[in-house]
Structure 1
């Protein structure tokens, strides 16, 4: 079973909307090496895992990383939504003409035609989509699950390495603080997962360093990344095990394969950051609840609460006729 905490795994920095950056981030979400891919690949590998009790640490490692990837999908999807929240009715920079609804006869959603993925507006109501940066739908055929532990771990190490490489490129495409805060976090966590799979392979006697040299992206040159590396976030793996039965710590320990002088360790889960609900977008015909629906919901809730507060009265009342009949 999975538990959901209503917190984001990382804080999203505030900045102006940027539809072009949102579209670039779609590659990191729904692309071949994106977060949807890693989430599905690791969860399927853990569900299909075969082995004896001695193999449990490997299953737990896959399970923990796969669970974290669910939170990455949530984080990057929320970031894309925030980057798209910039129609003419957005109240941001007063000097920006798009903040003037219908200025000069402009169409409310003209911004969708300028520099973005138009499907973000036509289909997603200014929200993330399960597609790559070219608009291609995410495909389950991306998922690799051979059933062979060594092959799966090697493929996962390659997947994390390629994902980190792509995120470094996306970082270089935009200076938007909202986009970069999420990209930097995912770059560092990809390194943590590289360390996890590298350590697991080492425990199996695989000399992965000669077989698959990890690309040197020099990501610490990015200030947002450097800040997280200084906190040691690249050397911590979360188990997300509510019952603390995970044995992933048997693998994720010792000197980091990144050779950065840090020691690997496991934690149950990070503290998280507050989540907010996006505002309505009337020009997208994407409202929440209108006054009539709100009144109906409130009335229904009050009635249900009233009935819940007096269950004994209802029970005793229904029992009286039966009792009288028996008498």
Structure 2
């Protein structure tokens, strides 16, 4: 079973909308090496795992896959924030939908040449399960061979390639909203590289000669350096409510990144950051609950309560 804590796994910084950055981030969400791929690949590997003696490896893959669900939530919400509203448009909910904004700006004119137009045509200015070119995410990306060593090697390659791509995306934008999420994912990708590298070491695989972790110099990015200084690249979470995970048998000892840190799998989950819901955007045709809908919801609730009281008697209030 899975439980949802209503926190983002990392804080999303506030900045202006940036549809071009949102489109670049789509690669990190729905691309071949994006967060949707890592989430599905690790969860399928964990579900299909065989061999009770190898439980620590299953728990490691399961824990990382569970974290990837929160990464999908984080990067998807970041894309939505980058698409929220239109720069220069200062419309109000009471304005006609075709009224121009500040300086005569047409509400969605930015859709024509600054982004993926599908964000505006079919996505209500929100994230889509596609890559940066608009290609739909594909289940054929998922690799699950049934051979533990092969799967771990492939997972290490996947995390390494994903981190390289995110470093490139970081250098495509100076938007604080985008960079706060990209930086966090860069560091967590390194943590997952460390996890799979350590697992391969425990199986006697000299992975360093075969598939070295790429040196990205991502520590030069100030947001990344702050997270690395906190040791976030050397932590792995269990996301296990009952303390039954055995991933700590693998994720321990000196970090394969050779950065002088020790691996730590003692934490259940990170602290997180409170989830907030974006405001209504009338020009996006994405309103919340208007008074008529609220009244309908209340009327429906009253009907359901009356039915309960007719069957079971008055409900305490």
TM-score of the superposed pair, with normalisation by structure 2? 0.92
Compared CA separation, residues 2 and 106, structure 1 to 2 (3 A) = same
Q: Does 1:301 align with 2:301?
A: yes
Alignment correspondent of 1:192: 191
SS in 1 for 2:196: helix
Alignment correspondent of 1:13: 13
Is this contact kept in 1: 2:17–2:87, CA < 8 A?
Answer: no
* 1:24-49 deviation per Cα after TM superposition (whole angstroms, max 9, x unaligned): 00000000000000000000000011
* 1:102-145 deviation per Cα after TM superposition (whole angstroms, max 9, x unaligned): 45655321111121000000010110000000000001111111
Q: Judge which range, 305-314 or 63-72, deviates more.
A: 305-314
SS in 1 for 2:264: strand
Higher radius of gyration, 1 or 2: 1
SS in 1 for 2:236: strand
For residues 40-59 of structure 1, the aligned pairs below 5 Å read 40-51=40-51, 53-59=52-58
TM-score of the superposed pair, with normalisation by structure 1? 0.89
Alignment correspondent of 1:77: 76
Q: Judge which range, 19-28 or 283-292, deviates more.
A: 283-292
1:296, CA displacement in angstroms?
1.6
Q: Does 1:214 align with 2:193?
A: no
1:310, CA displacement in angstroms?
8.6
1:186, CA displacement in angstroms?
0.1
Is this contact kept in 2: 1:88–1:109, CA < 8 A?
Answer: no
1:309, CA displacement in angstroms?
7.3
Compared CA separation, residues 16 and 148, structure 1 to 2 (3 A) = same
Is this contact kept in 2: 1:18–1:86, CA < 8 A?
Answer: no
Compared CA separation, residues 103 and 91, structure 1 to 2 (3 A) = closer
* 1:276-296 deviation per Cα after TM superposition (whole angstroms, max 9, x unaligned): 112222222222222111012
Is this contact kept in 2: 1:160–1:190, CA < 8 A?
Answer: yes
Q: Supply the RMSD in Å over aligned alpha carbons.
A: 2.0
For residues 123-134 of structure 1, the aligned pairs below 5 Å read 123-134=122-133
Is this contact kept in 1: 2:85–2:284, CA < 8 A?
Answer: no
Alignment correspondent of 1:229: 228
Gaps of 5+ in 1: 93-99, 316-327
Alignment correspondent of 2:282: 282
Distance 1:106 1:240 in 2: 47
Gaps of 5+ in 2: 92-98
Is this contact kept in 2: 1:89–1:101, CA < 8 A?
Answer: no
Distance 1:295 1:57 in 2: 52
Q: Judge which range, 290-299 or 33-42, deviates more.
A: 290-299
Is this contact kept in 2: 1:6–1:274, CA < 8 A?
Answer: yes
Distance 1:162 1:240 in 2: 25
Q: Which has the higher helix share?
A: 1
1:271, CA displacement in angstroms?
1.1
Distance 2:252 2:89 in 1: 48
Compared CA separation, residues 103 and 230, structure 1 to 2 (3 A) = closer
SS in 2 for 1:80: helix
